[in-house]
Amino acid sequence: MTYLKLFIASLKIIFRDRLTLFWGLAFPVMFIVIFGLFNFEGGGTARLAIIDQAGTDVSKQLIAAMRQIKYFQLHDDITSEAAAKRALKDGKIEAAIIIPESFRALGSDGTLSETIEFTVYYDKANLIEYELVRSALNQLVNELNLKLIGVPRLFALKEESLEARTVKYMDFLLPGIMGMGLMFNGIILIAVDMTRYREQRILKRIRGTPLPPRTFIISQVLAYLVLVFLQASLIILVGTSFFGATIHGNLVNLYALTLVGTLIFLNLGFVVAGWSRTASGASGLAQVISMPMLFLSGAFFSTDNLPTAVHSVVQFLPLTPLLKALRAISINDAPLTSLGPELLYIGLWLAITFFVAAQVFKFRAD
Protein backbone atom coordinates (compact mmCIF):
# COMPACT_ATOMS: atom_id res chain seq x y z
CA MET A 1 0.00 0.00 0.00
CA THR A 2 2.76 2.36 1.03
CA TYR A 3 4.76 1.18 -1.99
CA LEU A 4 1.87 1.85 -4.33
CA LYS A 5 1.19 5.30 -2.88
CA LEU A 6 4.86 6.24 -3.09
CA PHE A 7 5.18 4.86 -6.61
CA ILE A 8 2.15 6.82 -7.80
CA ALA A 9 3.38 9.94 -6.04
CA SER A 10 6.81 9.56 -7.67
CA LEU A 11 5.16 9.21 -11.08
CA LYS A 12 3.11 12.35 -10.45
CA ILE A 13 6.25 14.23 -9.47
CA ILE A 14 8.04 13.10 -12.63
CA PHE A 15 5.17 13.86 -14.98
CA ARG A 16 4.31 17.23 -13.46
CA ASP A 17 7.87 18.47 -13.71
CA ARG A 18 8.29 19.93 -17.17
CA LEU A 19 12.06 19.90 -16.86
CA THR A 20 12.10 16.18 -16.16
CA LEU A 21 9.73 15.57 -19.04
CA PHE A 22 11.89 17.60 -21.36
CA TRP A 23 15.07 15.68 -20.49
CA GLY A 24 13.28 12.39 -20.24
CA LEU A 25 11.07 12.45 -23.30
CA ALA A 26 11.59 15.44 -25.57
CA PHE A 27 15.38 15.54 -25.52
CA PRO A 28 16.07 12.09 -27.02
CA VAL A 29 13.35 12.56 -29.62
CA MET A 30 14.96 15.87 -30.52
CA PHE A 31 18.17 14.00 -31.23
CA ILE A 32 16.41 11.64 -33.59
CA VAL A 33 14.79 14.52 -35.41
CA ILE A 34 18.05 16.42 -35.72
CA PHE A 35 20.03 13.42 -36.94
CA GLY A 36 17.15 12.48 -39.19
CA LEU A 37 16.95 15.94 -40.74
CA PHE A 38 20.70 16.18 -41.24
CA ASN A 39 20.29 13.02 -43.22
CA PHE A 40 23.72 11.52 -42.92
CA GLU A 41 22.83 9.09 -45.63
CA GLY A 42 23.03 11.76 -48.33
CA GLY A 43 19.47 11.46 -49.52
CA GLY A 44 19.44 7.81 -48.67
CA THR A 45 22.20 6.89 -51.09
CA ALA A 46 25.96 6.85 -51.33
CA ARG A 47 27.37 7.47 -54.75
CA LEU A 48 29.89 4.88 -55.79
CA ALA A 49 32.14 4.25 -58.73
CA ILE A 50 33.16 0.65 -59.30
CA ILE A 51 36.15 0.17 -61.55
CA ASP A 52 36.07 -3.35 -62.82
CA GLN A 53 39.64 -4.26 -63.75
CA ALA A 54 38.86 -7.94 -63.82
CA GLY A 55 35.94 -7.97 -66.22
CA THR A 56 34.97 -11.56 -65.48
CA ASP A 57 31.46 -12.96 -65.24
CA VAL A 58 31.82 -13.17 -61.50
CA SER A 59 32.88 -9.54 -61.13
CA LYS A 60 29.97 -8.47 -63.30
CA GLN A 61 27.63 -10.45 -61.11
CA LEU A 62 29.15 -8.82 -58.07
CA ILE A 63 28.50 -5.38 -59.51
CA ALA A 64 24.97 -6.42 -60.37
CA ALA A 65 24.53 -7.55 -56.78
CA MET A 66 25.75 -4.19 -55.47
CA ARG A 67 23.37 -2.46 -57.80
CA GLN A 68 20.58 -4.26 -55.95
CA ILE A 69 21.52 -2.51 -52.71
CA LYS A 70 19.25 0.50 -52.78
CA TYR A 71 21.65 2.43 -50.65
CA PHE A 72 24.36 2.43 -53.33
CA GLN A 73 24.03 4.60 -56.38
CA LEU A 74 26.52 3.40 -58.96
CA HIS A 75 28.16 5.77 -61.42
CA ASP A 76 28.77 3.65 -64.49
CA ASP A 77 30.24 6.53 -66.48
CA ILE A 78 33.40 6.43 -64.41
CA THR A 79 35.52 3.61 -65.76
CA SER A 80 39.13 4.31 -64.90
CA GLU A 81 40.97 4.61 -61.60
CA ALA A 82 42.14 8.14 -62.51
CA ALA A 83 38.62 9.31 -63.40
CA ALA A 84 37.32 7.85 -60.15
CA LYS A 85 39.92 9.77 -58.12
CA ARG A 86 39.00 12.96 -59.94
CA ALA A 87 35.27 12.42 -59.31
CA LEU A 88 36.01 11.76 -55.66
CA LYS A 89 37.94 15.04 -55.39
CA ASP A 90 35.10 16.97 -57.08
CA GLY A 91 32.65 15.47 -54.64
CA LYS A 92 30.68 13.66 -57.34
CA ILE A 93 31.02 10.34 -55.55
CA GLU A 94 31.57 9.29 -51.97
CA ALA A 95 33.78 6.29 -52.65
CA ALA A 96 35.39 4.33 -55.44
CA ILE A 97 35.95 0.59 -55.35
CA ILE A 98 38.55 -1.10 -57.49
CA ILE A 99 37.93 -4.73 -58.37
CA PRO A 100 41.49 -5.83 -59.10
CA GLU A 101 42.66 -7.96 -61.97
CA SER A 102 43.50 -10.64 -59.44
CA PHE A 103 39.78 -11.16 -59.11
CA ARG A 104 40.10 -13.29 -62.20
CA ALA A 105 41.62 -15.93 -59.96
CA LEU A 106 38.14 -16.52 -58.64
CA GLY A 107 36.63 -19.08 -60.89
CA SER A 108 32.94 -19.14 -61.73
CA ASP A 109 32.74 -22.35 -59.71
CA GLY A 110 33.72 -20.43 -56.56
CA THR A 111 37.24 -21.76 -56.21
CA LEU A 112 39.94 -19.39 -55.15
CA SER A 113 43.70 -19.60 -55.16
CA GLU A 114 44.78 -16.36 -53.49
CA THR A 115 43.37 -13.52 -51.36
CA ILE A 116 41.75 -10.82 -53.40
CA GLU A 117 42.17 -7.25 -52.19
CA PHE A 118 39.58 -4.67 -53.08
CA THR A 119 40.92 -1.12 -53.01
CA VAL A 120 38.55 1.52 -51.74
CA TYR A 121 39.18 5.22 -52.28
CA TYR A 122 37.23 7.65 -50.19
CA ASP A 123 37.06 11.32 -49.31
CA LYS A 124 38.15 12.04 -45.76
CA ALA A 125 35.78 15.00 -45.63
CA ASN A 126 32.90 12.55 -46.00
CA LEU A 127 33.81 10.26 -43.14
CA ILE A 128 30.28 9.55 -42.05
CA GLU A 129 29.09 8.50 -45.47
CA TYR A 130 32.26 6.55 -46.01
CA GLU A 131 31.64 4.82 -42.71
CA LEU A 132 28.34 3.59 -44.09
CA VAL A 133 29.85 2.56 -47.39
CA ARG A 134 32.58 0.72 -45.55
CA SER A 135 30.23 -1.15 -43.26
CA ALA A 136 28.15 -2.19 -46.26
CA LEU A 137 31.26 -3.28 -48.12
CA ASN A 138 32.58 -5.13 -45.12
CA GLN A 139 29.36 -7.01 -44.99
CA LEU A 140 29.54 -7.75 -48.65
CA VAL A 141 33.10 -9.03 -48.36
CA ASN A 142 32.18 -11.13 -45.36
CA GLU A 143 29.22 -12.57 -47.17
CA LEU A 144 31.45 -13.36 -50.14
CA ASN A 145 33.97 -15.09 -47.96
CA LEU A 146 31.40 -17.09 -46.08
CA LYS A 147 29.52 -18.16 -49.11
CA LEU A 148 32.70 -19.01 -50.99
CA ILE A 149 33.77 -21.37 -48.29
CA GLY A 150 30.50 -23.18 -47.93
CA VAL A 151 27.93 -22.81 -50.63
CA PRO A 152 28.95 -23.08 -54.28
CA ARG A 153 25.98 -21.23 -55.82
CA LEU A 154 26.41 -18.10 -53.88
CA PHE A 155 25.23 -15.16 -55.90
CA ALA A 156 21.55 -15.85 -56.12
CA LEU A 157 21.43 -16.40 -52.39
CA LYS A 158 23.63 -13.47 -51.57
CA GLU A 159 21.53 -10.90 -53.33
CA GLU A 160 18.58 -11.64 -51.15
CA SER A 161 20.45 -11.61 -47.88
CA LEU A 162 22.22 -8.39 -48.76
CA GLU A 163 18.97 -6.75 -49.59
CA ALA A 164 17.47 -7.84 -46.31
CA ARG A 165 20.39 -6.71 -44.21
CA THR A 166 20.94 -3.24 -45.58
CA VAL A 167 21.58 -1.23 -42.44
CA LYS A 168 20.41 2.32 -42.54
CA TYR A 169 22.07 4.90 -40.33
CA MET A 170 18.76 5.35 -38.50
CA ASP A 171 18.77 1.65 -37.62
CA PHE A 172 22.22 2.16 -36.13
CA LEU A 173 21.26 5.43 -34.43
CA LEU A 174 18.03 4.31 -32.81
CA PRO A 175 19.55 1.96 -30.19
CA GLY A 176 22.22 4.64 -29.62
CA ILE A 177 19.58 7.23 -28.78
CA MET A 178 17.84 4.72 -26.52
CA GLY A 179 21.15 4.24 -24.70
CA MET A 180 21.67 7.97 -24.45
CA GLY A 181 18.17 8.54 -23.10
CA LEU A 182 18.35 5.88 -20.44
CA MET A 183 21.80 7.04 -19.38
CA PHE A 184 20.72 10.66 -18.96
CA ASN A 185 17.55 9.62 -17.16
CA GLY A 186 19.52 7.35 -14.91
CA ILE A 187 22.45 9.52 -14.00
CA ILE A 188 21.30 13.10 -14.29
CA LEU A 189 17.63 13.10 -13.37
CA ILE A 190 17.80 10.84 -10.34
CA ALA A 191 21.00 12.45 -9.03
CA VAL A 192 19.49 15.93 -9.27
CA ASP A 193 16.20 14.77 -7.73
CA MET A 194 17.84 13.04 -4.79
CA THR A 195 20.23 15.90 -4.09
CA ARG A 196 17.39 18.39 -4.27
CA TYR A 197 15.28 16.29 -1.90
CA ARG A 198 18.20 16.27 0.49
CA GLU A 199 18.76 20.02 0.14
CA GLN A 200 15.07 20.66 0.74
CA ARG A 201 15.23 18.39 3.80
CA ILE A 202 12.60 16.12 2.33
CA LEU A 203 14.84 13.09 2.91
CA LYS A 204 15.35 14.15 6.51
CA ARG A 205 11.62 14.63 6.93
CA ILE A 206 11.07 11.10 5.64
CA ARG A 207 13.71 9.77 8.02
CA GLY A 208 11.58 11.22 10.80
CA THR A 209 8.79 8.79 9.86
CA PRO A 210 8.77 5.00 10.26
CA LEU A 211 9.15 4.58 6.48
CA PRO A 212 12.28 2.55 5.66
CA PRO A 213 14.50 4.61 3.31
CA ARG A 214 14.72 1.50 1.11
CA THR A 215 11.02 1.73 0.33
CA PHE A 216 11.37 5.31 -0.80
CA ILE A 217 14.35 4.53 -3.04
CA ILE A 218 12.73 1.48 -4.64
CA SER A 219 9.57 3.44 -5.46
CA GLN A 220 11.65 6.17 -7.05
CA VAL A 221 13.57 3.63 -9.13
CA LEU A 222 10.35 1.98 -10.31
CA ALA A 223 8.91 5.34 -11.34
CA TYR A 224 12.03 6.12 -13.33
CA LEU A 225 11.84 2.74 -15.04
CA VAL A 226 8.34 3.72 -16.19
CA LEU A 227 9.75 6.96 -17.57
CA VAL A 228 12.50 5.09 -19.42
CA PHE A 229 9.97 2.60 -20.77
CA LEU A 230 7.91 5.45 -22.20
CA GLN A 231 11.03 7.13 -23.45
CA ALA A 232 12.20 4.01 -25.30
CA SER A 233 8.72 3.55 -26.79
CA LEU A 234 8.66 7.15 -27.96
CA ILE A 235 12.11 6.85 -29.52
CA ILE A 236 11.13 3.65 -31.32
CA LEU A 237 7.82 5.14 -32.44
CA VAL A 238 9.30 8.35 -33.82
CA GLY A 239 12.34 6.60 -35.30
CA THR A 240 10.36 3.92 -37.10
CA SER A 241 7.33 5.92 -38.20
CA PHE A 242 8.98 9.18 -39.27
CA PHE A 243 12.61 8.40 -39.99
CA GLY A 244 12.46 4.99 -41.59
CA ALA A 245 14.29 3.07 -38.89
CA THR A 246 13.62 -0.64 -38.60
CA ILE A 247 13.78 -2.83 -35.52
CA HIS A 248 14.69 -6.29 -36.75
CA GLY A 249 14.95 -8.02 -33.39
CA ASN A 250 12.80 -9.08 -30.50
CA LEU A 251 11.09 -6.10 -28.85
CA VAL A 252 10.70 -7.84 -25.48
CA ASN A 253 14.44 -8.47 -25.31
CA LEU A 254 15.12 -4.93 -26.39
CA TYR A 255 12.92 -3.49 -23.64
CA ALA A 256 14.25 -5.88 -21.03
CA LEU A 257 17.81 -4.88 -21.81
CA THR A 258 16.86 -1.20 -21.80
CA LEU A 259 15.39 -1.48 -18.31
CA VAL A 260 18.28 -3.54 -16.94
CA GLY A 261 20.70 -1.02 -18.42
CA THR A 262 18.75 1.80 -16.81
CA LEU A 263 19.34 0.22 -13.41
CA ILE A 264 23.11 0.60 -13.90
CA PHE A 265 22.74 4.29 -14.55
CA LEU A 266 20.23 4.79 -11.74
CA ASN A 267 22.87 3.26 -9.45
CA LEU A 268 25.41 5.70 -10.86
CA GLY A 269 22.90 8.49 -10.25
CA PHE A 270 22.72 7.54 -6.58
CA VAL A 271 26.52 7.52 -6.46
CA VAL A 272 26.57 11.04 -7.89
CA ALA A 273 23.90 12.12 -5.40
CA GLY A 274 26.02 10.65 -2.65
CA TRP A 275 29.03 12.70 -3.71
CA SER A 276 27.17 15.97 -4.30
CA ARG A 277 25.95 18.52 -1.80
CA THR A 278 23.83 20.65 -4.12
CA ALA A 279 21.52 19.86 -7.02
CA SER A 280 23.57 21.99 -9.40
CA GLY A 281 26.73 20.21 -8.28
CA ALA A 282 25.05 16.87 -8.91
CA SER A 283 23.93 17.97 -12.36
CA GLY A 284 27.48 19.05 -13.23
CA LEU A 285 29.10 15.88 -11.97
CA ALA A 286 26.51 13.72 -13.73
CA GLN A 287 27.22 15.48 -17.01
CA VAL A 288 30.97 15.15 -16.59
CA ILE A 289 30.46 11.40 -16.28
CA SER A 290 27.81 10.90 -18.96
CA MET A 291 28.89 13.26 -21.76
CA PRO A 292 32.25 11.62 -22.60
CA MET A 293 30.64 8.21 -22.22
CA LEU A 294 27.97 9.21 -24.74
CA PHE A 295 30.57 9.76 -27.46
CA LEU A 296 33.19 7.22 -26.41
CA SER A 297 30.69 4.39 -26.19
CA GLY A 298 29.51 5.02 -29.71
CA ALA A 299 25.93 6.18 -29.25
CA PHE A 300 25.99 8.15 -32.52
CA PHE A 301 28.96 6.85 -34.49
CA SER A 302 31.01 3.73 -34.60
CA THR A 303 34.04 3.93 -32.33
CA ASP A 304 36.19 1.85 -34.71
CA ASN A 305 38.10 4.96 -35.71
CA LEU A 306 39.32 5.65 -32.18
CA PRO A 307 43.00 4.97 -31.48
CA THR A 308 43.48 1.33 -30.47
CA ALA A 309 44.49 2.17 -26.91
CA VAL A 310 41.41 4.34 -26.34
CA HIS A 311 39.24 1.85 -28.14
CA SER A 312 40.29 -1.00 -25.89
CA VAL A 313 39.51 1.12 -22.81
CA VAL A 314 36.10 2.36 -23.90
CA GLN A 315 35.05 -1.26 -24.42
CA PHE A 316 34.74 -1.45 -20.66
CA LEU A 317 32.58 1.62 -20.08
CA PRO A 318 29.13 0.59 -18.85
CA LEU A 319 27.36 2.08 -21.84
CA THR A 320 29.48 0.24 -24.46
CA PRO A 321 28.35 -3.37 -23.91
CA LEU A 322 24.81 -2.12 -23.44
CA LEU A 323 24.82 -0.34 -26.80
CA LYS A 324 26.44 -3.34 -28.45
CA ALA A 325 23.76 -5.64 -27.10
CA LEU A 326 20.93 -3.23 -27.98
CA ARG A 327 22.26 -2.96 -31.55
CA ALA A 328 22.80 -6.67 -31.88
CA ILE A 329 19.17 -7.24 -30.96
CA SER A 330 17.73 -4.32 -32.87
CA ILE A 331 19.77 -4.62 -36.07
CA ASN A 332 20.83 -8.26 -36.31
CA ASP A 333 17.96 -9.91 -34.47
CA ALA A 334 20.53 -11.53 -32.21
CA PRO A 335 19.14 -13.93 -29.60
CA LEU A 336 20.11 -13.21 -25.98
CA THR A 337 22.16 -16.41 -25.90
CA SER A 338 24.57 -14.96 -28.45
CA LEU A 339 25.25 -11.93 -26.26
CA GLY A 340 27.16 -13.70 -23.49
CA PRO A 341 30.11 -11.33 -23.11
CA GLU A 342 27.94 -8.20 -23.28
CA LEU A 343 25.44 -9.55 -20.77
CA LEU A 344 28.33 -10.52 -18.50
CA TYR A 345 29.74 -6.96 -18.57
CA ILE A 346 26.27 -5.53 -18.00
CA GLY A 347 25.77 -7.83 -15.02
CA LEU A 348 29.16 -6.90 -13.60
CA TRP A 349 28.46 -3.20 -13.93
CA LEU A 350 25.07 -3.69 -12.33
CA ALA A 351 26.66 -5.38 -9.33
CA ILE A 352 29.55 -2.90 -9.01
CA THR A 353 27.40 0.22 -9.32
CA PHE A 354 24.84 -1.16 -6.88
CA PHE A 355 27.53 -1.91 -4.33
CA VAL A 356 29.14 1.54 -4.66
CA ALA A 357 25.76 3.31 -4.58
CA ALA A 358 24.80 1.47 -1.40
CA GLN A 359 28.04 2.61 0.20
CA VAL A 360 28.03 6.20 -1.02
CA PHE A 361 24.39 7.34 -1.03
CA LYS A 362 23.10 8.66 2.26
CA PHE A 363 19.75 10.16 3.18
CA ARG A 364 21.44 12.52 5.60
CA ALA A 365 23.55 15.48 4.64
CA ASP A 366 26.18 15.34 7.40
Which residue pairs from 274-279 have beta carbons closer than 8 angstroms and sit at least 24 positions apart in sequence? 274/357, 274/360, 274/361, 274/362, 275/360, 276/191, 276/195, 277/195, 277/199, 277/365, 278/195, 278/199, 279/192, 279/195, 279/196, 279/199
Spatial CA neighbour of 247 closest among 336, 260, 239: 239
Give alpha helix (H) positions in the chain.
2-16, 18-21, 27-38, 57-68, 81-89, 127-149, 154-164, 169-184, 190-199, 202-207, 213-242, 251-275, 279-296, 308-314, 319-332, 340-360
CB of 199 to other proteins, least distance (A): 9
Instruction: Please say which residue, 12 or 89, places its beta carbon nearer to other proteins.
Output: 12
Give yes or no for a contact between 47 and 126, defined as CB atoms under 8 angstroms apart: no
How far from chain centre, in Å, is Cα 21? 22
Indicate the residue type of 185.
N
Name which position in 2, 138, 161, 338 contacts other proteins (CB under 8 A). Answer: 2
Total residues binding other proteins (CB under 8 A): 22
Query: In the complex with other proteins, which residue's Cβ is closer, 12 or 277?
Result: 12
Question: Min. distance of Cβ 26 from other proteins in angstroms?
Answer: 18
Q: In this complex, which beta carbon is closest to other proteins, that of residue 124 or of residue 364?
A: 364
To other proteins, the closest distance from the beta carbon of 198 in angstroms equals 11
Specify the residue, 149 or 365, whose C-beta has the smaller distance to other proteins.
365
Nearest to other proteins of 282, 289 (CB atom) = 282
> Can you tell me the distance from the alpha carbon of 137 to that of 123, in angstroms, rounded to the nearest whole number?
16
| Shortest reach from residue 201's CB to other proteins, in Å | 5
128 exposure class (CB count in 10 Å sphere: 0-12, 13-18, 19+): middle
Kindly state the smallest distance separating residue 24's Cβ from other proteins, in Å: 14
Contact 356, 274 (CB under 8 A): no
Question: Please, which residue, 148 or 218, has the CB nearer to other proteins?
Answer: 218
Q: How far is the CB of 221 from other proteins (least distance, A)?
A: 17
Q: Rounded to 5 degrees, what are φ and ψ at 335?
A: -75, 155
Pair 253, 243: CB distance under 8 Å: no
- Is the CB of 213 or the CB of 284 nearer to other proteins? 213
CB of 361 to other proteins, least distance (A): 17
Mask: binding to other proteins, 283-322, rule CB under 8 A, as x and -? ----------------------------------------
Residue number with CB closer to other proteins (25 or 50): 25
Residues 6+ apart with CB under 8 A from 233: none
Provide, rounded to whole angstroms, the least separation between the CB of residue 227 and other proteins. 14
DSSP string covering 99-138: E-GGGGGS-TTS--SS----EEEE-GGGHHHHHHHHHHHH
Q: For other proteins, what does the binding mask look like between residues 5 and 34, x meaning CB under 8 A?
A: xx--x--xx--xx-----------------
Please tell me whether residue 92 binds other proteins under the rule CB under 8 A: no
Provide the minimum distance between the beta carbon of 209 and other proteins in the complex, in angstroms, as a whole number. Answer: 4
Within residues 345-364, the interface with other proteins by CB under 8 A covers 364
Which residues in the 198-227 window bind other proteins by CB under 8 A? 200-202, 204-211
Helical H segments across 109-212, by residue range:
127-149, 154-164, 169-184, 190-199, 202-207
206 vs 230, which CB is nearer to other proteins?
206
The residue within the footprint of other proteins, chosen from 1, 37, 125, 309 (CB under 8 A), is 1
Binding footprint of other proteins on the chain (CB under 8 A): 1-2, 5-6, 9, 12-13, 16-17, 200-202, 204-211, 364, 366
